[in-house]
Structures are given as C-alpha cells and as structure tokens.
Amino acid sequence: MRVGLLALLCCCYCQMAAAELLRIGFGTHKPPYIFEGEPRGLEYELVMAAASRGGLQLTPYYAPMERLHLMLARGELDAIATTSAQSGVPAFYSDAYIEYHNVAVALASRHLSITRIADMAGYSMSTYQRARYLLGPEFQAMAERNPLYREEALQINRNRLLYSGRVDLIVGDLRIFKYFNAQVADQVDVSQPLSYFALFANTAYSVGFRQAAPRELFNQGLKVLRESGDYLRIEQRYVEP
C-alpha cells in the first residue's frame, strides 16, 4: 500500500512540475511567424501547441534576439524560441520545430553577381540578429571580415534599407520579407525588380531551455503534434493565398 501511495504522490508531483508556468522568449515582430504581443503567428502557435501537448504552460516575453540569448544565459528566462545549438549559448535544445527559408536579395538595378556566400564580403548588407552564428561558419567568416555587415533588431528595417538603396543586400526569411513589403509600400518603392540569391540551406530552429526536463516534455509534445496532424493544420493557416 505504501508503494502505491508513493507512486501516486510521485505522479502528482510530476504533473505539478510539468504544469509549472515557464517564461519563454520570442523575437520581436516578424510576421507571419510572430505577431508581437498577440497570441498568433506560425511559430508562436507551433511552440505553444507542442508545449501544451507535453504538459507545459508557457507565458511569452518579446525582445530582440541578442537580448533573449543574454537573458537565457543569465537565467532570466526559462526558454527562448528561434534558436539552435549554433547560437553559442549553453542550453538544452529541443528537436527542430520549424525551418526558415533564408535568401539574399538585391535590387536588380545593382546587377550583382553572387554565386557563393563569400561573394557577399564586399557589399553592404543587413540581416537579422545572430545570423552570423545561425547561418553557418562560412557566413560567419564572411560577416566578420565585412565592415559593411549589420544586423537589425527590427526586421521591417531591412525592407526599407533595401528599397531605398541604402544597402546592397539583405539576408532573411523570404516569407518575412514579402510580408513586410505591404507594410513599407507607402515609404519606399516596392515595385522595383529584385534579384534573389539562393545561397542557404533551410535553417532549422529549436527551443532552448535552461533545464533538461521541460526540453524532454516539449519534444514529446512536438511528436504528438506532428503525429496528430495538428502541426500541418496550423501550418496551413499561414500559407500564402
């Protein structure tokens, strides 16, 4: 009887631990993945759904990616999204839950000839925070030797910089770039022809946790989300018309 009672108490304890409210960091406004301050977005919904199916409760916090990684390292957050083991921050990284499709983009009027990442070294360019770590060692090497390389906390700024001719290149996820075109159309000429350079493999992202236990629960929930078909249903809500 004592063994049975002990097992029941352990089970209840595990459930309480799993239900503990964890603070998770998301990057700033980057539709269609994250709508800052709103409970929607492809990435937001996938992370929250996987966590829920694993028995986790998450409360979101929004900040630039550099700050989020620093807060995770300091223990000010329990987890952050849109990261990976390449971020340089020690954490317990989940299975990949999403892939971004990064491209380099230039105004066609610049007539740039770029066939490999190293070719970007001589051009002014803007990309997202921590891209130098997340897009691989070849990209990091290029960024470190390019004095005209910059990273933006606000991803909408890349559209403004590109169409106004203030940078030669931008690098970012194609869906985010296209979404922000409508947001800047009254500020810059978004009808200008563009050149796209498909230099990058898809970038897989994980959730980075401070502790191993919630990472395992998240992975279990993500598996359930995929196997149930709910992952695909969430994804289809954000497919471009």
Task: Of 14, 9, 8, give the one whose Cα is nearest residue 217.
Answer: 14
Ranges assigned E (strand) in the chain = 21-26, 57-62, 79-83, 92-93, 98-100, 102-107, 125-128, 149-152, 169-173, 194-197, 203-209
Pick the CATH number of 7-99+203-236 from 3.40.190.10, 3.40.640.10, 3.10.20.740, 3.90.1530.10: 3.40.190.10
DSSP string, 4-57: HHHHHHHHHHHHHHHTSEEEEEE-S-BTTTB-TTSS-SHHHHHHHHHHHHTT-E
Regions of the chain short of the pLDDT cut 50 = 1-9, 11-13, 15-18
The domain spans of the chain are 7-99+203-236, 102-197
Q: What pLDDT is recorded for position 20?
A: 72
Residue range 102-197, CATH number: 3.40.190.10
State the pairing for strand pair 79-83/21-26. Answer: parallel
Write down the pLDDT at residue 182.
Answer: 93
Chain centroid to CA 103: 15
Task: Provide the residue count of the chain.
Answer: 241
For residue 59, what are the CA distances in angstroms to 22, 42, 141, 162? 6, 17, 36, 35
Of 68, 16, 3, the closest CA to residue 213 belongs to 16
What is the reported pLDDT for 239? 80
Say if residues 103 and 196 touch (Cβ distance below 8 Å): yes
Q: CA–CA separation, 133 vs 10, rounded Å?
A: 41
pLDDT recorded at residue 88: 85
The confidence score (pLDDT) of residue 241 equals 55
Domains 7-99+203-236 and 102-197 share a fold: yes
